[in-house]
Amino acid sequence: MTHYSGELLLQIDSYIEGLFVPSDPTLESVLQRSRRARLPEIHVSPNEGRLLRLLAETAGARRILEVGTLGGYSTIYLARALPEHGSLISLELDERHAEVARENIAEAGLGDKIEVRTGDARKLLTNMVEGGVGPFDLTFIDADKGSYPEYLERALQLSHVGSLILADNTIRGGSVLDPGDEAAWATREFNENLAKDPRLSAHILPLIREHVDGLAVARVLKL
């Protein structure tokens, strides 16, 4: 059996990035501003950002919901897939993160398409469901892993038949195989719910960076 080192995984990731993700000064500036603000280095990779945009374009998404904004890096990738009158709502717990994200979004020229809302995403999503907000054509979940099972149910309530639900970090370097903490257990539960829910057709795409992770992709079949 071949064992892949972290260095080789990074080389493969860089090879794919070199093919499909050209240099982008705006997105590089987004990362620089986020680093200066000392935001956690947990944003999606350029390759995953490109994949998110491709999935949103393929779905023809006009309304997008994102759970977990951070510095707005993935937000910008998703919003770039929107048509002229499309819109995106992103939910962020930390007000400081949200302010950095708004600055990044404005620099990217997408302030008219993106709204960043702050607060506990569980409460914000519940309020959106109760307020009849939606449906969304695509939901991207990339926030606290302990709430992933609840986020999935709320995403379904804010979807229509044919909507896509995406979720990041669903392999977690393999920790879902033998969970040792709450985040890994919740992610494993999310994956199992995704697989057995008759309302969904789903799969997990393995992703590589310095380790193996995964992006869950689900299409809503019925509500």
Q: pLDDT value at position 3?
A: 61
Domain positions in the chain are 6-220
Q: pLDDT value at position 152?
A: 98
Which H, E and C letters describe the chain, residue by residue? CCCCCHHHHHHHHHHHHHHHCCCCHHHHHHHHHHHHCCCCCCCCCHHHHHHHHHHHHHHCCCEEEEECCCCCHHHHHHHCCCCCCCEEEEEECCHHHHHHHHHHHHHCCCCCCEEEEECCHHHHHHHHHHCCCCCEEEEEECCCHHHHHHHHHHHHHCEEEEEEEEECCCCHHHHHHCCCCHHHHHHHHHHHHHHHCCCEEEEEEEEECCCEEEEEEEEECCC
Identify the CATH number of the domain defined by range 6-220.
3.40.50.150
Whether the model clears a pTM of 0.85, i.e. scores above it, the answer is yes
Low-confidence ranges of the chain (pLDDT < 50): 1
Q: pLDDT value at position 1?
A: 42
Q: pLDDT value at position 144?
A: 95
